[in-house]
Structure 1
Amino acid sequence: MSYAVVTLKKGEGRTLKAGGAWVFDNEIESITGGFTNGSIVLVHDFDGYPMGRGFINQNSKIRVRMMTRDVHQEINEAFLRMRVKNAWEYRKTTVDTSSCRLIFGEADFLPGLTVDKYEDVLVVECLALGMEAFKETIVKLLKEVLAEDGVIIRGVFERSDANERKKEGLPKVKGWIGEPYKTEVEIVENGVHYLVDVENGQKTGFFLDQKYNRLAMQRICKGKRVLDCFTHMGTFALNAGIAGATEVTGLDISDYAVSQATENAKRNGLEDRVIFRCANVFDELPRLAEAGEKYDVVILDPPAFTKSRQATKNAIKGYREINIKGLKLVKDGGYLATCSCSHFMTQELLAKTVREAARSAHKRLRQVEFRTQSPDHPILWAADESYYLKFFIFQVVDEK
């Protein structure tokens, strides 16, 4: 089979050469040979040096997403099985696999594809045109590879309903791959039980990336009064409760999230100590401060305030504001956990923003630890987009 050849401009492809996975439209000198969007192409450097194979899409600024650095490697079922097998073996080594991310796109060398496992259910998100052709084959292979270890998958649901699909020229898709099944599944993480709705929950139904950050907070929250902001399904709040916090309040602007979190509290027998309220966190924190409320632990887990480099300046203002408000509610000697899930809010930028917030709130910070996303969301160096979650734990000391 002959493939179209994408040739880079001289001096371009720096990210690719450093180990990244993308070729952008403005890095390309020429494309020779016939192709259709989504098909496999060869990528050459400006001087003809072969750099590998990937799939092309002229609808996207990410013009080529690399599948392999071996220019002779056929992208067939055997190749996809190898990728799937490697991803599963890695998870078995690094994380609790009862519920985990099985495929993390570029970081697992399957660009544009996410697959999450919730006990015996898989949820698939495909955000790249070229991966559409391989999606169902990969699902089949995942089920086969897991079955070899005695893990039987009872159903697969697709949540390819993100707006990013439009950039690839793809329609949103939401529904079953294969036979329908009940889309609510109970999972256990860090000893906490949750009911996950893979059809209607955010993203693929649950945020698995904070698994070990939540576990780290169990030690901090024991015997403490805790405020969990942007609680979503109550994950940090419930980890605090199960660890022995004396009183936990979870805040979220979504009625649906609060109802789910409340049900999860009952599921764990924590409804007497872990209470959830529907509130706009930005408005509620000043109200609590005015009422004289103080907490041993304040947790800030906001949604991404920016999904583009252009919006970063406004995002910084949002992170600074919420950290100032959160810090004012922490008792002297108490703890603040604060994070960002935006790729564009770098570790250095978040640290600078929190430092400025502490200065404005007249607080001093002692760093307890810095953490990132769970290892089932591996960070591929040179593929910066795979590193997005930054998580700080501080002790907060009044200036005196």
Structure 2
Amino acid sequence: MSLAVVTLKKGEGRLLKSGGMWIFDNEIASVMGSFVNGDIVLVHDFDGYPLGRGFINTNSKIVVRLLSRDENTMIDEEFFEKRVWDAWEYRKKVTDTSSCRVIFGEADFIPGFVVDKFSDVLVVQSLALGIDRYKEMLVELLKKVLAEDGIQIRGVYERSDVKVRKQEGMEPYKGFIGEEFSTLVEIVENGVKYQVDVKDGQKTGFFLDQKYNRLAIQKLCKNARVLDCFTHTGSFALNAGYAGAKEVTGVDASQLAVDQATANAALNGLSDTVKFICEDVFDLLPALEEKGEKYDVVILDPPAFTKSRSSIKNAVKGYREINLRAMKLVKDGGFLATCSCSHFMDYELFTQTIGQAAKNVHKRLRQVEYRTQAPDHPILWSADESYYLKFYIFQVCSDR
């Protein structure tokens, strides 16, 4: 069967030609041949030059997601097994694989497909129509590749309960792939134990991308009084407690998250030193300032305040506000760990926003280090969307 051919307009496809994997609707001159959304198509430049093959979906603004730059490559089981094998081999070299992101979509050249491994459980997100067709095959390939290293996967759960699927013409979905199993999974990261709820936790159940950033704050927290804002299931707070902090307060607006964090503190024998409260951080920080509270370390790990370019202005206000408030709560010479997980809040804008906050409250910042996401969430230089996490540690000094 001959494949449909997508031809680009003259002068378009700049992202694709610089190593990217996406072709947008406004870049396409024509689609010749019959196809069903989700099918593999060939991609040609305006002059007929072959650019590769990928899957098409005219429901999406990203009409084609490239799979191979070789027009003659067969997109079959052997093709995907090589991609899965490459992704796993990379993780073995760069990270602790007991729990890690095994596949990170475009950054692993498997567009729209994300898999996290929590001990012996896999959690899958299928975000594009084309890759959804290969979902079960990819899961079986992952099990096969992991089994070669003696890792037996006891269960797979799908967490494709995300709005982005609607842009692909698919409904959000969650459920078991294969046999049902207990969806509470105990993992150990940086010496800290967690109960991960892969069925009802946020995203895939746990944020693996901050693994080494959590480790980085441990050395600052010995004998410290610590405030961890937007704590989720308590990961930064527990790393502080594990490192020997004398008192840790974790804050989150979700009672479910606070309950999970409290259970995780008990799991680690840290209930006496690590406490959690259910509060809105934007309300709590000014209240703590009014009381005259001071901390040796303040940690800010907020959710993405913006998921589009259109709301960036409000996001900047939010990031400036929490950083400004947090700096006021840090003892002179204490430390602030602050981050943004929004792709649209880029490095330059995030850095500038923190600088403005420091200026507004007359604080001097000494940068300890700048970090990004853990290497199991690789940043592909030709795929800007793969670089999203910015993480700073500063020493906060009074401006005098």
C-alpha distance in 2 between matches for 1:333 and 1:364 = 10
Deviations 1:105-139 (A, max 9, x none): 00000100100000000000011000111111000
Letter aligned with residue 261 of structure 1? A
| Corresponding residue for residue 236 of structure 1 | 236
TM-fit CA distance, 1:55: 0.4
User: 1:112-151 to 2 correspondence within 5 Å?
Assistant: 112-151=112-151
Give the alignment's Cα RMSD to 1 decimal. Answer: 0.5
| Corresponding residue for residue 380 of structure 2 | 380
User: 1:307-386 to 2 correspondence within 5 Å?
Assistant: 307-386=307-386
Deviations 1:58-80 (A, max 9, x none): 00000001111111001000000
C-alpha distance in 2 between matches for 1:49 and 1:224 = 62
Percent identity, aligned pairs only, is 69
C-alpha distance in 2 between matches for 1:4 and 1:370 = 46
Q: Are 1:103 and 2:103 matched, yes or no? A: yes
TM-fit CA distance, 1:195: 0.2
Q: Are 1:281 and 2:276 matched, yes or no? A: no
C-alpha distance in 1 between matches for 2:2 and 2:345 = 42
TM-fit CA distance, 1:221: 1.2
Deviations 1:347-392 (A, max 9, x none): 1100000000001111000100000000000001110000000000
Letter aligned with residue 350 of structure 2? L
SS in 2 for 1:141: helix
TM-fit CA distance, 1:173: 1.2
Letter aligned with residue 55 of structure 2? F
C-alpha distance in 2 between matches for 1:328 and 1:354 = 13
User: 1:50-65 to 2 correspondence within 5 Å?
Assistant: 50-65=50-65
TM-fit CA distance, 1:171: 1.1
TM-fit CA distance, 1:318: 0.6
C-alpha distance in 1 between matches for 2:172 and 2:277 = 32
Structure 2: give runs of 5+ residues left out of the alignment.
none
SS in 1 for 2:133: helix
| Corresponding residue for residue 207 of structure 1 | 207
TM-fit CA distance, 1:222: 1.4
SS in 2 for 1:75: coil
C-alpha distance in 1 between matches for 2:63 and 2:253 = 38
C-alpha distance in 2 between matches for 1:342 and 1:167 = 19
SS in 2 for 1:356: helix
C-alpha distance in 2 between matches for 1:221 and 1:15 = 43
User: 1:259-274 to 2 correspondence within 5 Å?
Assistant: 259-274=259-274
C-alpha distance in 1 between matches for 2:22 and 2:351 = 28
C-alpha distance in 1 between matches for 2:306 and 2:377 = 20
Q: Are 1:93 and 2:72 matched, yes or no? A: no
| Corresponding residue for residue 38 of structure 1 | 38
Structure 1: give runs of 5+ residues left out of the alignment.
none
Q: Runs (4+) of structure 1 moved beyond 6 Å? A: none
